[in-house]
Amino acid sequence: MKIINIFGTRPEIIKFQPFIKSLHQNKINYENIYGGQHYSKNLSKVFFNDKFFKKPKYYFNYGSKFKNLNYIRELKEKIFKILIKEKPDFVFVQGDTNTTLAGSLSTLQYKKKINKNINLCHIEAGLRSKDLKMQEELNRIIIDHISDLLFAPTNLQKKNLTKENINKNKIFIVGNTLSDVLKNIKIKKKKIKQVILTMHRDENVKKKKDLSRSVTFINLIASQNNEKINFFCHPKTKQSIVKYNLSLRPNIKLEKPTNYSKFINSLFNSKYIISDSGGIQEEACILKKHLITLRYNTERPETISIGSNILSNFNYLRVKKRINYINKTLPRWKSPYGINVSKKIIDIISKNKKRSDEFDKHRLNNLLKTFKKQKAFSQKSIKKNIYNLLKLLS
């Protein structure tokens, strides 16, 4: 059995770590491909010195050369050539990034042209925000519909997949590999509790009006609570703040990107967390830290239903009420993300070596139907983006 793992961003590297460690410990043959969607040294290279994390045999810096559709198209063709050379039985992708989509599309191309028995495996399958304006939402829908084995974090994600008429026999509820990651991080408790802030999503920082709204909202929270807020500022967010000449209140301290272990310690020792990140919704939940998410929707509704997270909706009174609640309430929820997730995945693929099936017209029509069911599909820009991505299926 031979496996290819494909990743290109910091979250993917983090979540792949325990799975790759399990491959190493089980003496399973594998290689890693890094697409370089995150190309900052501080964001990626620090992860490749783990003794269990084999440095990528194939390392691209495409994130600095290509954007969005061009990145997906270029990386897809590169990975296709690598698959021809490596001849894997399984290709693993994780999450919903452009790298994940490129790896999935190249595997489908390989399946059609070279070896129909290859298996595309999607870790973190079934997440849905119902927001087609998000590139990640388009990516994960396509990835799930062309995958052979789908590893869903919870039953909620399995329900999303079966609602889209994806074969339930291909879906396995395993939890989230992030549980395996956090279990192995050494935590040092501190007495001084501070608020942690992160913000990087395009809808919050890319355009001047969106970033101005976000900064104004954060400044309002900072002014009313007068608490020290450590802002772990993504490079592109910092660049935009400087570009648009926006200012933060004095009690908001900018922090540089740090290694993952230190960041998790910061989250653990926080009073509460404010973020627009998807991954932090999971991390805060597992670490039992209250989270306020700077968004109107989430693809992780389980964090809301168990009480670890709320959506801010950029409504200050809503956030103020939540902060008052946090100050009076200890976290009591149980994480829905499982344990020993990587081991479960390896056990499943060991028993499902010939599950691969053809991506035929029926499955393509089902994918199109999934998009068309949503009202936002009628918007010209969204429809155009979807069809541009679907052209890459050929």
The sign one gets for the Cα dihedral 98, 262, 258, 54 is: negative
DSSP assignment letter at 296: S
16, 19, 25, 50, 177 from 343: Cα distances, Å = 12, 8, 10, 19, 10
Residue of 38, 122, 145, 200 marked active site: 200
* Phi, psi torsion values for 199, nearest 5 degrees: -160, 120
For residue 133, count CB atoms less than 10 angstroms from its CB and return exposed for 0-12, middle for 13-18, buried for 19 or more.
middle
**Amino acid of residue 319:** V
For residue 53, count CB atoms less than 10 angstroms from its CB and return exposed for 0-12, middle for 13-18, buried for 19 or more.
middle
pLDDT for 354? 62
For the chain, domain boundaries = 2-176+340-393, 194-328
Could you tell me how many residues make up the chain?
A: 394
DSSP assignment letter at 95: T
317 three-state secondary structure: helix
Q: How far apart are the first and last CA of the chain?
A: 27
CA distance 111 to 118: 6
pLDDT for 372? 96
The sign one gets for the Cα dihedral 165, 168, 171, 176 is: positive
2-176+340-393 against 194-328: fold identical? yes
* Phi, psi torsion values for 252, nearest 5 degrees: -105, 115
pLDDT for 91? 98
Minimal CA–CA distance to 319: which of 344, 294, 289? 294
* Element (DSSP H or E) covering residue 73: helix 68-86
* Element (DSSP H or E) covering residue 210: helix 208-225
CA distance 236 to 191: 32
The pLDDT profile of the chain, 394 residues, written as one tens digit per residue, is 999 999 998 899 999 999 999 999 999 999 999 998 876 555 455 555 555 567 889 988 877 677 789 999 999 999 999 999 999 999 999 999 999 999 999 999 999 999 999 999 999 999 999 999 999 999 999 999 999 999 999 999 999 999 999 999 999 999 999 999 999 999 999 988 899 999 999 899 989 999 999 999 999 999 988 889 999 998 889 989 999 999 999 999 999 878 889 999 999 999 999 999 999 999 999 999 999 999 999 999 999 999 999 999 999 999 999 999 999 999 999 999 999 999 999 999 998 766 677 888 999 999 999 999 999 999 999 999 999 999 999 7
Question: What CATH code would you report for 194-328?
Answer: 3.40.50.2000
Tell which CATH classification among 3.40.50.970, 3.40.50.2000, 3.40.50.10470, 3.40.50.720 matches the domain 2-176+340-393.
Answer: 3.40.50.2000
200 given a catalytic annotation:
yes
List helix spans (H) across 253-334.
260-268, 278-287, 302-305, 316-328
Single pTM value for the model: 0.94
